[in-house]
Amino acid sequence: MSKITFLGAGSTVFAKNVLGDCLLTPALQGFEIALFDIDHERLQDSANMLNNIKKTSGSTSIIKSYTDRKEALNGAKYVVNAIQVGGYDPCTITDFEIPKKYGLRQTIADTVGIGGIFRNLRTIPVMLDFAADIREVCPDALFLNYTNPMAVLTNVMNTYGGVRTVGLCHSVQTCVPELFKHLEIDQTGVKAKIAGINHMAWLLEVSKDGVDLYPEIKKRAAEKQKEKHKDMVRYEMMLKFGHYITESSEHNAEYHPYFIKRSYPELVDRFNIPLDEYPRRCIDQISRWKQMREDLVNDANLTHVRSHEYASYIFEAIETDVPFKIGGNVMNTGLITNLPREACVEVPCLVDRNGVTPTYVGDLPPQLAALNRTNINTQLLTIEAAITHKREHIYHAAMLDPHTAAELSMDDIVAMCDEMIEAHGKWLPEYM
């Protein structure tokens, strides 16, 4: 019996999408779906939910919960990762509140920036523990990483974990549909090419019947900018740098030095930037969980419709040898020629029985590669800090972050990092 192991299975809503999709996929019938989470109550919630979907869908797969991680991984063909280390309280609160004391404001704080750096530092040791188990009990498994910060964690698993890893993000699938919907352009028959780094990949080409659609896109985007809307940062970046970015405006507002500035506070209002957005989402999700739990876990007639998540389509393509195209995060083995080879990049990939094969992109337009490199710098120094356990590399990562560097002096950055390390305490014992 083949096995799909889901680490972080207490993420019940996400487990419904990824594993519910697997239960509906003909090529994956008869698989064992192995669930693991350190929160045993949430683990049982997800098992109950998936068994309800199994019953209503008629799936022949077996749902099994594990409290021992190595047993959950033993013999797995595919591993899906969706963990969050430290949770909302205390770690997300720390990631937002301490920088705020120094005048550094954030929106999501899960990719780069000071929040992204510290989320990486507390997650990487856990991921490397996963890697050690995988090398021992399922060394040939394909590891699908959904956890942020995507680029760094996928890089670490490939470079230091010795595990065949592909990072997956929703932003590639939704980029063109959401842009065209907002600009009221018919997307039927549209051809697009996307590449860059995670959360800052670029819509490099977009055409229909051989006609470049960018002139019309930019014309409509410029009109939209005359009134407030939720995507103003991305439209501004496109109009200034030439290309649209895959990830949302609330994310991209904190990836660059141009938008969240104490010296120009009016920019936050002008570009409709939702400061402290991620904590609000966490609070809302926590408050809604009781009703969501009733709807998902205790509904014996729960059904599921296959989602747009890549995981089940990847597994299906490998099992059936029917090719499927994804946007995947992989190591830059010469794929994007003007980005560092040490970086993790997001490029089109072909999936079939051979696994996930990334495609060659070549040079990005120079201004786009330059923007990517500003974030890659922080990513690579964060990895250096995590692997060497040297506190000075945390400072380097933070000082190289575009938004942090634009707002704070080097002395303030060092002091803020020290306070963050102290506040994280048991989550970062290597640096205490």
Q: pLDDT class for 432, splitting at 50, 70, 90? A: confident
The pLDDT tens digits of the residues spanning 42-69 come to 999 999 999 999 999 999 999 999 999 9
pLDDT, position 413: 98
- What mean pLDDT is predicted for residues 256-260? 98
CA 407 – CA 200 distance, rounded (Å)? 21
349: exposed, middle or buried (Cβ count in 10 Å: 0-12, 13-18, 19+): buried
The count of other CB atoms within 10 Å of the CB of residue 153 is 28
pLDDT, position 270: 98
Burial 23-41 (b: 16+ CB within 10 A, else e): bbbeebeebbbbbbbeeee
- What mean pLDDT is predicted for residues 296-302? 94
Cα distances (angstroms) measured from residue 119 to each of 50, 153, 342, 346 = 29, 10, 20, 20
The pLDDT tens digits of the residues spanning 92-147 come to 999 999 999 999 999 999 999 999 999 999 999 999 999 999 999 999 999 999 99
Cα distances (angstroms) measured from residue 309 to each of 30, 315, 322, 348 = 21, 12, 17, 15
The CATH superfamily label for domain 1-426 reads AglA-like glucosidase (3.90.1820.10)
* C-beta separation of 34 from 4 below 8 A: yes
* C-beta separation of 4 from 33 below 8 A: yes
CB neighbour list of residue 256: distance below 8 Å, 6 or more residues apart: 237, 371, 374, 402, 403
User: Chain-centre distance of CA 348, in angstroms?
Assistant: 16
| 427: DSSP letter | G
The H helix count followed by the E strand count for the chain is 17, 12
CB neighbour list of residue 197: distance below 8 Å, 6 or more residues apart: 151, 339, 343, 344, 345, 346, 372, 375, 376, 379
User: Would you kindly state where each structural domain of the chain is located, as residue ranges?
Assistant: 1-426
CB neighbour list of residue 319: distance below 8 Å, 6 or more residues apart: 27, 28
How many Cα neighbours within 13 Å face the side chain of 10?
A: 14
* C-beta separation of 171 from 178 below 8 A: no
pLDDT, position 326: 98
Q: Is the pLDDT of residue 1 over 90?
A: no
DSSP secondary structure string, 91-124? IIHHHHHHHHHTT---SS-SSSHHHHHHHHHHHH
Most distant CA pair in the chain, distance:
61
Q: Is the pLDDT of residue 380 over 90?
A: yes
Is residue 375 classed as helix, strand or coil in its secondary structure?
A: helix
| Whether residue 99 has a cis bond before it, omega within 30° of 0 | no
Catalytic (active-site) positions: 170
| 227: DSSP letter | S
The pLDDT tens digits of the residues spanning 261-284 come to 999 999 999 999 999 999 999 999
* C-beta separation of 376 from 384 below 8 A: no
pLDDT, position 418: 98
The pLDDT tens digits of the residues spanning 179-231 come to 999 999 999 999 999 999 999 999 999 999 999 999 999 999 999 999 999 99
Query: Which pair of structure tokens corresponds to residue 92?
Result: 């997300």
pLDDT, position 37: 98
CA 304 – CA 282 distance, rounded (Å)? 24
* C-beta separation of 94 from 423 below 8 A: yes
Q: pLDDT class for 22, splitting at 50, 70, 90? A: very high
- Our CA angle for 331, 159, 196, nearest 5°, is 20
Q: pLDDT class for 299, splitting at 50, 70, 90? A: very high
pLDDT, position 194: 98
The neighbouring-strand residues paired with 145 are 81, 167
